Structure 1
Amino acid sequence: MAESSEVNAMFDHLADLEKSRTDWKIKAWVTRLWPTNNAESGVVKGFNLILLDNDNYHLHAYVYPDTWKAIGKDVKEGGVYIFEGFQVRDTYGRLRPVSTNIDLRFLNSTKIQAVEEDIMIPKHKFEIMEVGDFSNKVVSLRLMRMLNVMGMIEEWEPASRVPTRYGERETLRFKLSDGRVVLGVCLWGELAVTVSNEYESEKKKPVVAIIASSKLTTFRQELQIGALPSTRIYLNLNIEAVEVFRKRLEEEGYKSPAAPIRPTITPPPASPLLMFSLKHLTENLTSFSEKNTVMVTFKISDIEDKENWWYYACQSCHEELEKVDRKYKCTVCPRSFSYGEKRFQLLVLADDNSFASTVVLTDRVVKRLAKTTVTNLMNSSKEAPNSEMPPVLRNIVGKTVTVKISLSKSNVAGDSNIYKVVDLCEGSVSGKKVAEYSPITKFPSFEQSQTDDYVVCLETPTSSDSVSKKIKMEP
């Protein structure tokens, strides 16, 4: 609900923003909203917004989780807000969501005020590329920013479930065409189901689709459009660009081709991971390849290092950071950060009755065993030294677990039998595949509890027309 009064003031235009000051004041529509997550751990690294003003100019804004807590405001996709006091920075990195050379960083002091919908601000802006515009230049462009692609949907088939290494998942494949050039599209999970349902309910055929903030990939040596956490898909959107595109194709005599008749093929089941004993693994290390993944069941009989149970990790590669002059430096990337990501790392003694070996439990595994995070543990016991192991971690001793171990170069060379546990599993490998403790779930909203924990599992969100995205921060 918008606040009762809008501040009567002149607003800065997004196109006029530059880096020399922070006292900017803008009014903008939040056209898209999504989190940036650590792909391995699910930790929320920040939140992204695309802001659009009444000059039809848009910019990308980024917010760290701690900053959202300090600001303490609700922000939802599809709302109009006044933003006051923020930093303007040069854009860097790949897969930029918009083509502008600057972006915004919200500060703890940034003020946000919800206002009534402004009919002067358009609800959508796309830097659209038609399918026929794709070329070698576009292939190089894909490394720089996300793509907004428009075309007619062809070779449509409803979403279906297929077996994968992590169990069955929904997938949707179709073609996007301008009558001459055709690109494949592949969607997974909740996004595949939502788009499939929306397509079936569309009465105007053929359907024009805009796939916003997507990526260009290669599948079997052919270009293909894939989804990102930021991807939104709009079907027969009521904007001029869609009507012009449809009219041009009709004038050119475009006719949607009949759906091809395909034989029903049952894909072969994904190969299950092999289960080994610690003894067999240790005695046959040189027969494995680097980065081979195997399953092992063992009992955690002891924690060998009770002081070094967490570390500051690089946000990109998760290697341990060095603190240099109030900065955290990663020697692998190499990059420097103003803060480090706190992650678990436990050195434990594993015993499966055939052999006892030292293993490293990574952050993903410890979080699932202890059902908490490093940040939460430190916040709940601020008086205790950070080096003192919390009781909840000691409680994992005695548990029997089935885990996934990733073999390192030192392992397969026979130089080390300290194994790295990268995931925790449940179930049994006898007669069925192992199911992982890392389900893929949708992320429909950002709640206070999620930003407190900084732990979520991310599924590619659904279209913004069908699901409301929201960052909720209790005042």
Structure 2
Amino acid sequence: MSFNKYDTVEDLNDSKHDWLLRVRAQAIWKGITKETKDFRGYNVIFIDDCNGRIHAFIAAALCAKYEGYLIEGQLYKLNDFSVKYYNGDETSRSVRTPKHIYFTNETKFIKDEEDGMKIEQQSFDLFSLEDVQNNKNDNRYLIDVVGVLDGTPTKIAYKKDDVEKSNVKFTLHDGRFYANVTFFNEFGDSFLKAMKENLEHPVIIIIASAKINEWNDEVSLTNYPATRFYINSSHYSVKEIRNRIAENSFHVTHLDDQDDKGIPTFHVKDLFNLTEDYIEKMVECKVTVKKFDKKVKWYSNFCAKCDINIELVDRKYQCGQCRKIYPYPDKRYQLTSLCSDNTGTVPIIWTDEEVIRLCGKTVYDIIADDEEAEDGDKFPTALQEFEKKEYNITIIVTKENVKEGSKVYTATKIAAPNEMCGNHSPSQKENSEVKATKISNLNMSSPPTGNSTTEKIRVRKRPDALECTLQEKTVTDVGKLKSLKTESPTNYIYKANIIYDNLKGHYTIYQRKKKKQVAMSSNNYVHLRNVEKGRTDWKIKIRIIREWRGVSVTGEKFKGYNLLLLDAKNVRMVGYVPEWLSEKMQKLFSVGKMYTVTNFQVKQYNANDKWRCVNIDRQILFTNNTKAKQIDESEYFIPNNHFDFFEMEELTKLAKQNVYLADVVGVVIRRDNIRPVRNTKLGTDQMQVRIKMTDGKNKINVIFWDKFAEEFQQDIDSNQYEEPLILIIASGKVGVWKDETDICNFSPTAYYINYKHHSVQQLRKLVSQANFSQHINYSNSQPKKPLRLCTVAEIKNFNQDYILQEVVCQVKIKFVENNETWFYPRCTTCYKQIQFVEGNHICIRCKRRVPHPDKKFAICVLASDKTGDIEIILMDRPVRYAFGKNVFDVLQEYKGKFPTMLKSLENQDYTIKLQILEVNIHKQSEMYLATDMFQGFTFHQNTLDEETIVKPTEFSAGEPSGSSYHLDNISET
């Protein structure tokens, strides 16, 4: 036997293309452009053996070979595809996972004829019908719902633009909430046809990928190209609803009223210490209204439909939510009282209904009686009568009061007042002695009156004139559009005193003096920015920081070569050594050394000079008269290197041009080992290393090719670098491949790992910050180690290099823990463990209630080999593989009790694949996670044959595969 060779949907990421899935096509539909009716391609929803769902797209150019081959419900094997992450601005997505599959020319897609693990016919991400109303303004996603059919579906025929149309309307309910449904045209007809079959009652319907629509203030579910309906499906949610109906627990009624006799009474100070048990509960307190807040308006204008306050904007009262304009808006009381008892003071808001009940007047009545109060600034006399009186006030305790520290409460009921002659103040005693005023020696802490002042320091009205000698150019930026950086003040278009810089892409004010002539003498050195063509007697001091040879289209290296020069002003310029001078200059110059260089030509770049490594419009051409002398490091200072970094978010713009290369720096979050890749155009293999980097905000793919990749891999293998790696790529070639920005090596490209540079130091500080580290999984920057067999003792002594790595152990299962929590509920959106809170399954990550969560195995066992014992959690996939049943099957068979079939694992030999987690290393947790297993001690590492991959014109994505299992509280079970 062997391990499961198929990946799961949850495992997928954009690190590679050679994934292998075994999936079922649940839904297939064509993508049609709404405006032009152009065919864009096929969309497919795939589900795997773990009920994971993912959307896949097949572009129109690739659809011909799949025509007639795509069948809903069919099982397929799918490998060699691209995984991409959504941008976040897509609409009407049928699956809420952040990634999707793209078919490529290399994708292999065949029908599965083998017997494998069971894949369900359908998988859904079901929402409560309550969420239909709550998500009406969210057009990012379609929605899956389940409910009982209420009434009889009816068909309505009508004409629109002289075209016959129809719709079918019906209602679903889930025991608590209702949702209206409208199916249009052929889709509605197919639904009515299905309803004519002999169906079990009540009819339970699942609607997948429905679109939420609002028309004439009515919210309903409608069909979309991705929409499918399932009547009396075999899905576990349908079984759950049918069981609840049989047990008379389907219809749930929530009583909002709380028995007055059961309302507890608290002092003010006790209100601030209430626990979560009191959230949304009513409590009572006996307080005195000391005063109302008269600094705010005593009434508000509000939108009756949306129940929100509205303000006067541009002389109109308009609701910010429904956008309706109210010429005469409704008004309601908004009174905030300051109330106290002998333990403290609390602000309490009086609701409109209670104020009207107590005073017998509406806001309009008050305004009619007191015209001065109409603008809201004057507090009405009639309302002041409530002050200085004692009330029994019932308030509702909110989540904000308990968890977020809000000290403002809202009254739901205010009892008739008791007259009183005084008022309560916190901790105030009825009889207090008047103490004599204590006089302190003020001279000890303040100066005499004659030495002090209360006058303010005033700024002079007319500042003195200051002498200023302008430099040759005084530069002030007045607007900047970041595009390309420049190292030379050239390419200016002069227009009055404002100059537009073609390279920088922004306007600059220049106050110009007469340009000084560059004087040349035997002792005069100039900086690189000042050298110009037309003369050869230049003298410069430079450091050589890089050397490379150009390469022809066929890959043949030029015999002439290039040097990258750097001066003390951090200006860089390329120096070219022609072929016939190569031997002489190689003896003269060494990379990293400083030189004085004299007598050379300056050549202007032209439009045909592509892929420049510095943004300057000229280069140096060395001649036979060029002379150079090395400078001792103690005599002069030039930095060892300099980079012209671009923000990662700017690289997409840079990919649209072919003039400049780019310098970038980032933290390596994923890295592949070197591997051969087939270049189908040349018919040869090329070596490739794939990397993914981030700057904490954005990510880019990095691809190194051929000898450059080999040198990088050798460097990594032969040196121990601090993790995470911080990588500088100098003069990289930026491009876009399949909508992703990539950077790869070109002739001048160089890399620097953990280089001594301020940018690297800054990134090293940032990686520890939470807002940066959320982009990084440091362990994933390590390549995946080969799967190897280890003893229990070896596993328990692993160091941090093994975090998120997988290893194999061969053990005997000694004991299966008989625990009531042998499975856990899982969110159908994010596939993570969820919590059971106040009778509901809540996913904290998705911030939603999951009405029908999936259920997954988590079996705790004790196993051992000759070196010791080990505690293991057998996760869902290996348990299902061993028994051929899922949690729902087992729950039904064993009536919810612990399944004794699991005890059959005891005293059996198993080969188990473990994933080493961070808690196993840093927190020394002895509970290990099993992701796969088979019976017996035969272990053969499962490897796939290498498939040929097209080289994507030097641009692709790269990162190693990593598991995304999430434990949460499983270790506690």
Q: TM-score, normalised by structure 2?
A: 0.25
If you compute each CA radius of gyration, which structure gives the higher value, 1 or 2?
Answer: 2
Q: Relative contact order, CA 8 A, sep 6+: which one is greater? A: 1
Q: TM-score, normalised by structure 1?
A: 0.49
